[in-house]
């Protein structure tokens, strides 16, 4: 089930998003703060923090939210590969703002160093994603959301690196009797059950251990209705989805959503006519608009498709600027939007 769209005016109203954040805190307190409550609360803090950063940066509440963001990022072992909020830019802002703080400074500097290292090395990012999710699962060993996130992290790490070790970890963890096999969300389930079917069928690249894990998964699935619910499950409906209005304009060239689409079409026609690298600058302006769009409406459904189209457009040029931008767009799509069909298509293509 897709999350329900929210009014676009919420995104530019930090106070409204702060009220949502406070409601999330109250709900978590009433529930006894399961892992899923922390994840949802963190998501609302990020929403409110981004709004303040964009439109009310000098408000004292902005600094407060930056502190909350850093505290929750540390508590939940924040990793951009597994987080669903497309918020790395803001987490970096919050960490940088607290880097000199006498209490939070060490955590802020450590987080920035980790993000920089992971950004430079996808293999390291995959390893850290598994370790971060495992730390959360260790801290909440009977929580549905933590256990699901651990398997999801391994599947994302596998997609990013093509290292079968992570696929095997996902199968092995999903085969455990305590794993909530009946609560696997659709996007995770597509990858998990595809791997399980391939392993059970004896396809090349899967070990005997993988096959045994897959058999156990199918057995547990058949009896999943008798497995008790442990902890809480964070429905994807919990995430606040706000789509960009048609009359809003992004970036230095002030492109609307329709303008971004039209500009990519126009650039493609010039590339068809042989203009090549002469279209680099125009494409970079589109990327500038997409970055602004993502900062304001990070969960807009249209962004992954446009990011993939932009990546494909850049691949038709070979200027140094286009090649660097191509790498940057690829990272945004495959990290911030790793669970989307567009990201998986790109990663599957190599």
CA distance linking residue 145 with residue 102, whole number of Å: 33
CB 107 within 8 A of CB 113: no
> Which pLDDT band holds residue 223 (cuts at 50, 70, 90)?
confident
- pLDDT higher than threshold 50 for residue 239: yes
Kindly report the pTM of this predicted structure: 0.89
% of the chain beyond a pLDDT of 70 = 91
Question: 27 Cβ partners below 8 Å, 6+ apart?
Answer: 37, 40
| DSSP calls for 101-144 | -TTTHHHHHHHHHHHHHHHH-HHHHHHHHHHHHHHHHHHSTT-H
> What phi, psi does 338 have (nearest 5°)?
-60, -30
pLDDT at 224 over 90: no
Contacts 24+ apart (CB under 8 A), 272-279: 276/316, 276/317, 276/318, 277/317, 277/318, 277/319, 277/322, 279/317
pLDDT tens-digit readout, 116-134: 999 999 999 999 999 999 9
Domain chopping of the chain, boundaries: 5-238, 245-348
pLDDT digits (tens, 9 = 90+) for 149-195: 999 999 999 999 999 999 999 999 999 999 999 999 888 999 999 99
What pLDDT is attached to residue 26?
Answer: 97
User: Backbone dihedral region of 109: left (phi > 0), alpha (psi from -120 to 50 degrees) or beta?
Assistant: alpha
pLDDT (average), residues 61-67: 97
Instruction: Give the whole-angstrom CA distance, residue 306 versus residue 312.
Output: 10
Element (H, E) at 195: helix 186-200
Encode pLDDT of 87-96 as tens digits: 999 999 999 9
pLDDT (mean) for 73-83? 96
Residue in the block written with tokens 């964009």: 54
pLDDT, one tens digit per residue, over 212-222 is 999 999 999 88
pLDDT of amino acid 225: 61
- Backbone angles phi and psi of 32, in degrees to 5: 90, 15
Query: Residue 232 — pLDDT band, cuts 50, 70, 90?
Result: low
Is the confidence at residue 5, as pLDDT, over 60?
Answer: no
Q: Above 60 in pLDDT, residue 3? A: no
**Distance in angstroms (rounded) separating the CA atoms of residues 135 and 25:** 23
- Contact indicator for 138, 130 with CB cutoff of 8 Å: no
CB 173 within 8 A of CB 154: yes
pLDDT value of position 349: 82
Question: Is the predicted pLDDT of residue 7 greater than 70, yes or no?
Answer: no
Distances (CA, A) of 269 to 182, 275, 296: 48, 9, 29
Report whether pLDDT(137) > 80: yes
């Amino acid at each position: 089930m897709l999350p329900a769209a929210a009014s676009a005016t919420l995104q530019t109203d930090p106070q409204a998003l702060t009220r949502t954040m406070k409601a999330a805190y109250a709900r978590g307190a009433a529930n006894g703060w399961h892992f899923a409550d922390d994840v949802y609360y963190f998501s609302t803090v990020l929403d409110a923090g981004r709004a303040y950063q964009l439109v009310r940066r000098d408000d004292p509440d902005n600094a407060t939210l930056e502190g909350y963001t850093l505290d929750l990022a540390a508590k939940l072992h924040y990793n951009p590969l597994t987080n669903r909020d497309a918020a790395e830019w803001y987490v970096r802002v919050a960490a940088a703002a607290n880097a000199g703080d006498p209490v939070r400074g060490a955590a802020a500097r450590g987080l920035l160093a980790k993000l920089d290292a992971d950004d430079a090395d996808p293999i390291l990012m995959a390893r850290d994603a598994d370790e971060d999710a495992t730390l959360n699962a260790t801290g909440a060993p009977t929580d549905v959301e933590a256990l699901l996130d651990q398997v999801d992290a391994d599947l994302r790490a596998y997609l990013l690196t093509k290292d079968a070790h992570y696929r095997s970890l996902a199968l092995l963890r999903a085969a455990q009797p305590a794993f909530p096999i009946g609560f696997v969300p659709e996007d995770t389930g597509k990858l998990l059950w595809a791997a399980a079917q391939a392993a059970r069928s004896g396809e090349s690249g899967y070990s005997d251990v993988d096959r045994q894990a897959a058999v156990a998964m199918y057995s547990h699935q058949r009896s999943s209705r008798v497995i008790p619910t442990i902890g809480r499950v964070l429905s994807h409906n919990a995430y606040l989805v706000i789509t960009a209005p048609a009359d809003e304009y992004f970036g230095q060239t002030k492109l609307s959503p329709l303008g971004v689409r039209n500009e990519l079409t126009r650039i493609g026609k010039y590339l068809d006519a042989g203009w090549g690298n002469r279209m680099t600058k125009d494409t970079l302006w589109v990327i500038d608009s997409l970055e602004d769009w993502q900062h304001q409406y990070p969960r807009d459904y249209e962004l992954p498709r446009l990011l993939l189209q932009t990546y494909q457009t850049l691949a038709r040029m070979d200027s140094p600027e286009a090649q660097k931008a191509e790498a940057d767009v690829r990272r945004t799509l495959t990290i911030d939007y790793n669970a989307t069909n567009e990201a998986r298509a790109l990663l599957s293509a190599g």
